[in-house]
Amino acid sequence: MLGSAEYQRTMRATSSGVHEQSARRRRRPQMTPEEAEANYVQVKKDHMIPFHKMALLTVVATAPAFIMVFMFQPTDTGWHHAERRPYPPIYEVAAPVLMGQEQCARFRQSTTDFRRAAPAGLPNSGAVYLWKLLRLNCQMPRECFQRERGFDDDDDRITRLSHAEHELDRDDCAPFLTQPPGGRHAFHGSTRVLGKHQRVNRSEVLPVVVAKDPFTWFRSVCRRPAALRFKRGATCPAPPARVQFEDRPWDSLGHLWGAWHASYLGTRSLVVRYEDLLWRPVETVGAICSCVGGVTAPPRDFDPILDAYGRGLSRVANLRRYGNESLRVKGLGPGDAERLFSSPDLRRVAARLGYDVPAQA
């Protein structure tokens, strides 16, 4: 606490300082409104950046963005491009592989204009991708889809695709089926019928199976197992583990892959390779479209979002992922590969599709 005398001196000094500041303000000449306005204009002029300098700064700041957009944009980013890409050696074929193509003429002759392709496949094989490719690029005689010159933006495109399920309620046209009446992942011969597909004439439907390279499919289901139940560790798919699917147990993912695809061999169906949809989309989609009696529309969209809910990678990103041969077998030891590929069905189907599998010991 300050003493009484010291407190009095402090208060006098403070009061003196306040009075001195007030006196200085009173002595300062008062500025007229005109002078204040002129002073404001001068200050503004002193601090303003000349127009030509501002324009130069703007150009310098935005130039990198313009260069990135217009000079370094990948050639087939976006929807309208369907560029052919060279196959990785592991998938090299002279033409896209379509098993069952010899049945196409008989299917068209025995059906009406309400015929349709229905994509099928094991989880994470690309069946949804094929459905979007067909819907956007294959023109059918009695389609419900209101085909237009193009889409306004990505949201509009996805919204139009999502209307497909509502088309099942119409009798005056045939929808682009998202899956066969028995389900996208059902084994061939399944007698169940999905609720909304009760009114679909199954004789007018051609299942089109999308098969993915077993090696890359194993890794896909390790990332997103969907309806598969199996033990996943940090080194998945090694070591091979038993898997549960469609209420049935299988010795490994390889046994499931082989049995599921073998169930479609020799039946009225097509089997295509997912890799052909990536590297040769126009030829592959065109062949499927012709098989079911459609006409391939001018290439408009061969890079739709892959995932059913819009979280998937683009075609460009998947070309990089599935074209990496070292990633294809990463982490698999000889014993792991031998067990995963021990299924006779897998080896038989894979050989017909042109997939490279390990030699048997």
Q: What is the pLDDT of residues 204-226, one digit of tens each?
A: 999 999 999 999 999 999 988 88
Which is higher by pLDDT, 2 or 143?
143
Tell me if 313 sits within 8 A of 127, measured CB to CB. no
Which pLDDT score, from 0 to 100, does residue 111 have? Answer: 95
Tell me if 118 sits within 8 A of 175, measured CB to CB. no
Instruction: Quote the Cα angle for 150-75-68, to 5°.
Output: 105
| Bond prior to 239 in cis (omega within 30° of 0) | yes
Give the model's confidence band at 74: pLDDT under 50 very low, under 70 low, under 90 confident, else very high.
Answer: very low
Cα separation values, 176 from 51, 132, 235, 284, Å? 58, 9, 39, 17
Which pLDDT score, from 0 to 100, does residue 153 have? Answer: 43
Give the model's confidence band at 21: pLDDT under 50 very low, under 70 low, under 90 confident, else very high.
Answer: low
Say yes or no to pLDDT of 136 above 70.
yes
Cα atoms in the Cβ-side hemisphere of radius 13 Å centred on 44 = 6
Tell me if 237 sits within 8 A of 336, measured CB to CB. yes
Give the model's confidence band at 99: pLDDT under 50 very low, under 70 low, under 90 confident, else very high.
Answer: very high
Q: Where are the beta strands (DSSP E) in 16-68?
A: none
SS3 270: strand
Give the model's confidence band at 358: pLDDT under 50 very low, under 70 low, under 90 confident, else very high.
Answer: confident
Looking at the chain, the whole-number percentage of residues with pLDDT higher than 70 is: 70
Which pLDDT score, from 0 to 100, does residue 46 have? Answer: 64
Say yes or no to pLDDT of 333 above 90.
no
Q: What gap in Å lies between CA 100 and CA 261, rounded to an integer?
A: 13
Mean pLDDT score of the chain: 80
- Classify 246 in phi/psi space as left (phi over 0), alpha (psi -120 to 50) or beta: left
Q: Other C-beta atoms within 10 Å of 108: how many?
A: 15
Say yes or no to pLDDT of 154 above 70.
no
Q: Where are the beta strands (DSSP E) in 286-338?
A: 295-296
SS3 191: coil
Segment among 166-175, 298-307, 313-322 with least mean pLDDT: 298-307
What mean pLDDT comes out for the span 298-319?
65
Which is higher by pLDDT, 204 or 197?
204
Rounded to two decimals, what is the model's pTM?
0.73
What mean pLDDT comes out for the span 325-346?
86
Tell me if 208 sits within 8 A of 272, measured CB to CB. yes
User: What domains are there in the chain, each with its CATH number?
Assistant: 89-353 (3.40.50)
Instruction: Quote the Cα angle for 146-273-138, to 5°.
Output: 15
Say yes or no to pLDDT of 339 above 50.
yes
Instruction: Dig out the tokens for 39 from the structure.
Output: 């002073």
Place of tokens 């009696």: 293
